[in-house]
Structure 1
Amino acid sequence: MKHSETPVASPYYLVQGGASLQGEVKLSGAKNAVTKMIIASLLTSEECTLRNVPLLGDMYLTMKLCESVGTSLHLDDHVLTLRTDSIARSEISTEVGGLNRIAVMAIGPLLHCCGEVSIPAPGGDRIGPRPINFHIEGLRQMGATIVERDGFYYCTTTKRLRGTTIKLPFPSVMATENFLITASLAKGVTIIENAAMEPEIVDLIKLLQKMGAIIEVKVDRRIVIEGVEKLRGASHTLLSDRNEAVSLATAAYLTRGDVYLRGAQQDILLTFLNTLSKMRLRFDIDDEGIRFVADDQPPPAIALETDVHPGFMTDWQQPFTVLLTQARGMSVVHETIYEDRFGYTSALIGMGAHVGLYSKCLGEVPCRFREKEHQHSCVVSGPTPLKGTQLYIPDIRAGCSYILAALCAEGESQVFGIDHIERGYEHLDAKLRSLGAQIQRIEATATADVN
């Protein structure tokens, strides 16, 4: 390819592939838990303290949202202290609430306090439609009046929100978390049927219980919440981030490395670890973390399917697909959670991977996309050497997979759109450098000289 001048609007990563990752790194707290816990602190006027918080973009956005409605915050290293003596305003602006979907989580707490709230229509990763209709319908069942107008949701209630039975059409993680938070102060009993049961949800339940909530997890995906009059402040240490664990473990195997992840928790990684065992990939578990050790032989191909917890997590699919480009034989990946999560594979093909996408369900898990035209199954043939190139990140998990591909590729890669990475990972580039990766963060310039 010819040298050319390409406009650069933000910093990017320059990655030299081929370095074997070696050493130890400490995992951050869970991104998918911290934002919901910050919102949960709005349920009380007393002080809440969160430890092991990850320093990343989505957390800062949520802090800014809470600060805009009256929360006082103090962040010291990885300890976040929050106190909301009173709600100063119940309107959430597009500036603080329009970049992701977290604003919808604030509806319940602000309705409990003020009886009214307005939020902007949500943003987020481009991985297929992720509407908030589950949230809106459930909140209406609890007594909220919600009107959508001019890109905002206007929510009101004339009396205390009430308990009800909410049957989710799909085990939505964020909707389950929303109803857990809202139901904790609702009048009466709320039952969430077909609830999600991810480890981050259990961690949120632990925090809410410390605050005085009464929550029981029943069999067959039912959660029962008995509303209380008032919640108190609490302190809580977040679980580690299982997505970061999978990403760094995969990087170790891709680079023929040997990496110890301090803080990696076996109980929240069971399905991932079972998949590694099926591929004859070595890992060693102790009380403090997990060591991931590669050898010189390509692992065998595998068939896997994403599913709701305790199945193989959809966020693990992208980094694992990169690993499958280096497996021997034909692997199959069936995505059952999102219909549009294989867009990143075109970049892998450009690097030399052999990947085919299909609308047919190539798996056994009951799938919402059966008989539809969504390309939600993927066939990967390997092992194929990857070549460095220019990469443009569309979303958080795809972005991480691009970095993993660049780490094991021959030559140099430039990875643009790294704001997605920094939204969802705490100093990922620095952690990789500490393990020996040749990755630099290049600051923004008017133009960049790229291949």
Structure 2
Amino acid sequence: MSSVLRVEGGKPLHGTISVRGAKNFVPKAMVASLLGETPTVLRNVPQIRDVDVVNELLTAHGVKVSYDQGAGILELDPSSVELAARSDIDALSGSSRIPILFCGPLLHRLGEAFIPELGGCNLGGRPIDYHLETLRRFGASVDKRPEGVYITAPRGLHGTVIELPYPSVGATEQTLLTAVQAEGITTLEGAAVEPEIMDLINVLQKMGAVISVDIDRTIRIEGVEKLKGVVHTALPDRIEAASWGAAALATHGDLFVQGAEQPDMTTFLNTFRKVGGEFEVKDDGIRFYHPGGKLKPIVLETNVHPGFMTDWQQPLVVALTQAEGLSLVHETVYENRFGFVNALRKMGANIQLYKECVGGVPCRFGQRNFLHSAVIQGPTPLHAADITVPDLRGGFSHLIAALAAEGVSHVAGIDMISRGYEHFLSKLRRLNASVEYVGQD
């Protein structure tokens, strides 16, 4: 059972909301706290489901958790880490993909780890096999069983050389969390260098790790014997900030996102302006607004940082349905990212999906039979419909579409959005949106 949201659309969003720490960083920093011998304090922590899941997992492993939700301050004391009871881990099985990142820290602290079947958004291949192979490279022993994966390190963990075929964020995080206390030097080639990765490196360095990042995406980690707890303020969530910006554009609105920062959003802001949106960067946030006039079609390709982030693509596509002409969007990060467009079509959007790479730049999905390119013909007025949230980012895009559409829409599965968007319902109400829960599907 999940909640259904009634959305009365066709009204511009206007007002002020705020964003706190990044969903793609805070849970990983929480896992990193396991490595310290003293407590870690994280600031600017958002109230989202993913944070709750990691708090529950840490508590199950003996970490003392103190969370001031209003202030966004989380204190984690790992001095009594222990192996969690199977029943406690099983209760959280399927809630998140974060548990796989517990492996390295637990191997260092306890010499063993258990990982249940993992959940998360179904965006395409995110197999844990690469994570497990990475752990084997460090010297871990991996035992797959029906109930999950048992991992031990009978001879300890040792530095290694890892070459990533693609700059995977998850694989980079796994390597960092395992390498910082592995004996010797680890070299990671082809690493992801997203801002959230760099902030995780900041945390680990503050804890006592020795990590260098080269311009060719090579990260070198010198293992150390001990790490300590730290105090760290999380970088703001650039995905949530961009999502609200896209909502302002799609609804002809004007809103100020307090806490948003320009440096990590440069690529989004350039694209936002090319489409016809406008923004003002201020000391404490960014104002996003539709300045009037027609929106312009664009050719857009997602990519790893510093390219256009895949999580920015879905909310912006809603705005592109209102652009004058033909827009081309080529998704190169997740092969199944366009599942959300079915609902947009139901609401009147003219979007065609293709297996070929559009825009002239071939990618790794081009010969693999995936619908990973979109052609959007606009403008097409959106009308209300009853739709169901497919995943976190697609779900927020559905919400934007319902807010932009004329009439009353019912959005089912809306609870999934709480995984990554803090207090999104109260924020919508502060922006004068007409939304209310009407029951469960």
Q: Do both share a fold (TM > 0.5)?
A: yes
2-structure distance, mates of 1:344, 1:237: 33
Partner residue of 2:277?
281
Pairwise CA RMSD: 1.3
Partner residue of 1:6?
none
Alignment equivalent of 1:41, drawn from 21, 33, 39: 33
1-structure distance, mates of 2:103, 2:175: 10
Partner residue of 2:63?
71
* Residue 396 (structure 1) aligned with residue 397 (structure 2): no
Superposition pairs for residues 199-210 of structure 1, below 5 Å? 199-210=195-206
Partner residue of 1:129?
125
Deviations 1:295-343 (A, max 9, x none): 2322110010111111111111111111100111000100011111111
3-state SS, counterpart of residue 416 of structure 2: helix
Partner residue of 2:78?
84
Partner residue of 1:323?
319
Partner residue of 1:98?
94
Q: TM-score, normalised by structure 2?
A: 0.97
3-state SS, counterpart of residue 31 of structure 1: coil
Deviations 1:42-79 (A, max 9, x none): 00131100000010111100110111011000111210
Alignment equivalent of 1:293, drawn from 264, 289, 294: 289
Shift of 1:376: 0.4
Alignment equivalent of 1:158, drawn from 154, 157, 166: 154
Superposition pairs for residues 135-154 of structure 1, below 5 Å? 135-154=131-150
Superposition pairs for residues 224-263 of structure 1, below 5 Å? 224-263=220-259
Q: 1:129 to 1:91 in 2, by over 3 A?
A: farther
**Counterpart residue identity of residue 305, structure 1:** E
Deviations 1:352-384 (A, max 9, x none): 000100001003444111122111000001111
Alignment equivalent of 2:210, drawn from 208, 214, 237: 214
Q: TM-score, normalised by structure 1?
A: 0.95
Alignment equivalent of 1:369, drawn from 365, 383, 392: 365
1-structure distance, mates of 2:151, 2:386: 45
2-structure distance, mates of 1:363, 1:159: 50
2-structure distance, mates of 1:300, 1:362: 18
Shift of 1:277: 2.3
Partner residue of 2:410?
414
Alignment equivalent of 1:332, drawn from 328, 333, 350: 328
Can you give the 5+ residue segments of structure 1 that lack an aligned partner in the other structure?
1-8
Answer yes or no: is the 8 Å Cα contact 1:90–1:116 preserved in 2: no
Partner residue of 1:171?
167
Shift of 1:12: 1.8
Answer yes or no: is the 8 Å Cα contact 2:37–2:226 preserved in 1: no
3-state SS, counterpart of residue 269 of structure 1: helix
Deviations 1:395-449 (A, max 9, x none): 00110000000000000011110121011111111111101111113354xx7xx
Answer yes or no: is the 8 Å Cα contact 2:82–2:110 preserved in 1: no
2-structure distance, mates of 1:236, 1:87: 21
Deviations 1:197-247 (A, max 9, x none): 110001111111111111111111111111110001100000111111011
1-structure distance, mates of 2:2, 2:275: 38
Shift of 1:160: 2.3
How many residues align? The count is: 437
Shift of 1:90: 4.8
3-state SS, counterpart of residue 154 of structure 1: strand
Answer yes or no: is the 8 Å Cα contact 2:248–2:289 preserved in 1: yes
**Counterpart residue identity of residue 422, structure 2:** E
Partner residue of 2:44?
52
2-structure distance, mates of 1:425, 1:370: 32
3-state SS, counterpart of residue 338 of structure 2: coil
Moved more, 326-335 or 256-265: 256-265
Q: 1:91 to 1:314 in 2, by over 3 A?
A: farther
Answer yes or no: is the 8 Å Cα contact 1:115–1:159 preserved in 2: no
Shift of 1:91: 5.6
Shift of 1:159: 2.4
Answer yes or no: is the 8 Å Cα contact 1:45–1:86 preserved in 2: no
Answer yes or no: is the 8 Å Cα contact 1:91–1:119 preserved in 2: no
Shift of 1:144: 0.3
Answer yes or no: is the 8 Å Cα contact 1:264–1:288 preserved in 2: yes
**Counterpart residue identity of residue 128, structure 1:** G
2-structure distance, mates of 1:291, 1:400: 19
* Residue 24 (structure 1) aligned with residue 20 (structure 2): no
Partner residue of 2:6?
14
**Counterpart residue identity of residue 149, structure 1:** R
1-structure distance, mates of 2:253, 2:231: 37
Alignment equivalent of 2:380, drawn from 380, 384, 388: 384
* Residue 265 (structure 1) aligned with residue 261 (structure 2): yes
Shift of 1:96: 2.0
* Structure 1 ranges of 4+ moved more than 3 A: none
2-structure distance, mates of 1:95, 1:62: 13
Q: 1:133 to 1:363 in 2, by over 3 A?
A: farther
Answer yes or no: is the 8 Å Cα contact 1:336–1:365 preserved in 2: no
Moved more, 356-365 or 75-84: 356-365
2-structure distance, mates of 1:114, 1:417: 38
Moved more, 87-96 or 309-318: 87-96
2-structure distance, mates of 1:316, 1:379: 17
3-state SS, counterpart of residue 343 of structure 1: helix
* Residue 435 (structure 1) aligned with residue 427 (structure 2): no
Answer yes or no: is the 8 Å Cα contact 2:276–2:290 preserved in 1: no
Answer yes or no: is the 8 Å Cα contact 1:264–1:290 preserved in 2: yes
